[in-house]
């Protein structure tokens, strides 16, 4: 089973794809999509939609988990990322792929046993789980890997 984890954004969107075979988990890849800098939000959303459609068509995941947004202190950023997230959800639903969601707290708690863990702790845990030579950089990459990993564990199903 291929599982895709997505950490949404408007300038960068992180992805990780994991393959699960019985009790074995393999990190196939993680990467980022960058939108064109200083582009109007509506045009960034078009770029994101095209990129997500292509990504889903190429990798054909059976499940996709997208990080849920939580409100922080910058409402403008939160609204923009929310728009991007819904474009991502729309593209997933168009391809009839099972969609699930986790909050950052759920991701941290499932991987580190501490919902208040620091991003550096999550990065280190991901490095250990997948026996990576170095911690995944930047921290958003670890978020995407974590989302895919806990999906592979099927804790939220």
Say if CB 101 and CB 68 are below 8 A apart. yes
pLDDT of residue 58: 92
Give the pLDDT mean for 13-31: 89
pLDDT in tens, 96-122: 998 888 888 888 898 899 888 998 999
Sorting pLDDT into bands at 50, 70 and 90, what band is 156? very low
Structure tokens at 20: 């699960």
Structure tokens at 122: 């999550």
**Predicted model pTM:** 0.84
Structure tokens at 110: 């499932």
The residues assigned a catalytic role are 7, 67, 140
pLDDT of residue 75: 74
Please name the residues in contact with 131: beta carbons below 8 A apart, sequence gap of 6 or more: none
3.40.50.450, 3.30.420.10, 1.10.10.60, 2.60.120.10: CATH of 2-152: 3.30.420.10
């Amino acid at each position: 089973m291929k599982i895709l984890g997505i950490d949404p954004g408007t300038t960068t969107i992180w992805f990780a794809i994991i393959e699960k075979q019985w009790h074995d988990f393999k990190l196939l890849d993680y990467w980022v999509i960058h939108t064109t800098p200083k582009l109007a939000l509506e045009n960034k959303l078009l770029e994101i939609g095209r990129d997500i459609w292509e990504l889903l068509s190429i990798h054909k995941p059976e499940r996709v988990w997208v990080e849920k947004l939580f409100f922080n202190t910058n409402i403008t950023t939160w609204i923009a990322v929310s728009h991007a997230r819904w474009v991502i959800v729309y593209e997933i639903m168009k391809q009839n792929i099972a969609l699930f969601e986790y909050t950052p707290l759920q991701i941290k708690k499932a991987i580190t046993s501490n919902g208040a863990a620091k991003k550096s702790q999550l990065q280190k845990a991901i490095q250990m789980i997948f026996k990576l030579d170095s911690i995944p950089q930047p921290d958003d990459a670890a978020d995407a890997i974590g989302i895919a990993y806990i999906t592979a564990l099927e804790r939220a199903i």
